[in-house]
Homo-oligomer: A and B are copies of this chain.
Amino acid sequence: MALIRNSAAYDDQVIAAARMVFAEQGFAAPMSEVARRAGVGVASVYRRYPSKQALMEAVRIASFDRIIQLADMALATRNDPFSALATFMRDCLEENTPVGTVLPPLDEGHVYSEEFHRLQNKMAGLVDRLVTEAQDAGAIRKDVNWADILLLFKHLNPNLPISEHRRAEFRARYVSIVIEGLRSDSELPAPGPGEAEWRRMCDNRSGR
């Protein structure tokens, strides 16, 4: 309810709301929902971002930013390269916000900003470092790369309608990874879903 009136704080509020909404419902979510979540009127969103496309790009940029932050943090823990990577992955997936890679591309005609590409590259570079260092330490298999990691997010993270070329092909890789992961005897962080849990998700009245 606090009126913010012409403040830059509006930006953060709107972007944060947009990240949440888009993460949950995909880019198809209506602007009005973003506005509602941000606690502002639709017009205020438009006042700052001239179109939905613009807002979506801003959200993607914010996501890149966040991933870069997380990668930096993970890299900063100068001990075990494997746990650095693991931490990074866990952190990313824990955010209930779409990390950049997870988002579907914008409309065909859209031209991304400089900023967008700069951050995208920076992000890729950092993830590459995390992966490479873990590989050099002999901690993880050599046949995955940074793009794999980012794509894995896409698969593990939310639920956006993404339908890209050759997805099936890559999926084969990830299934293998998952299957190998099933062999480990390390303990899992949360109790698994029960029958009832699953039924609720599959059958009816899922979480909305």
Contact residues of A between 149 and 202, Cβ < 8 Å to B: 150-152, 154-190, 192-195, 197-198, 200-202
20 A-B residue pairs with Cβ-Cβ distance under 8 Å, sorted by A, are: A25-B161, A26-B161, A89-B179, A93-B172, A93-B175, A108-B205, A120-B202, A141-B184, A143-B192, A147-B193, A156-B178, A158-B163, A163-B208, A166-B193, A170-B190, A170-B192, A172-B190, A176-B186, A177-B181, A177-B184
Q: How many copies does the complex hold?
A: 2
Contact across chains for A159 and B163 when beta carbons are under 8 A apart: yes
Task: Evaluate whether A192 and B147 lie within 8 angstroms (CB atoms) in the complex, with A140-B183, A177-B181, A186-B176 already known.
Answer: yes
Report the Cα distance A146→B142, complex, angstroms.
Answer: 30
Complex alpha-carbon distance, A202 and B160, angstroms: 13
Pick out which of these stretches binds chain B: A35-43, A47-55, A69-77, A94-102: A94-102
A25 and B85 alpha carbons, distance in the complex (Å): 33
Interchain CB contact under 8 A, A166 and B197: yes
**Further 16 A-B residue pairs, CB within 8 A, beyond A141-B183, A141-B186, A143-B187:** A28-B161, A86-B179, A89-B178, A89-B179, A93-B171, A103-B202, A140-B183, A142-B185, A144-B182, A147-B192, A148-B192, A150-B202, A172-B190, A176-B181, A177-B182, A181-B184
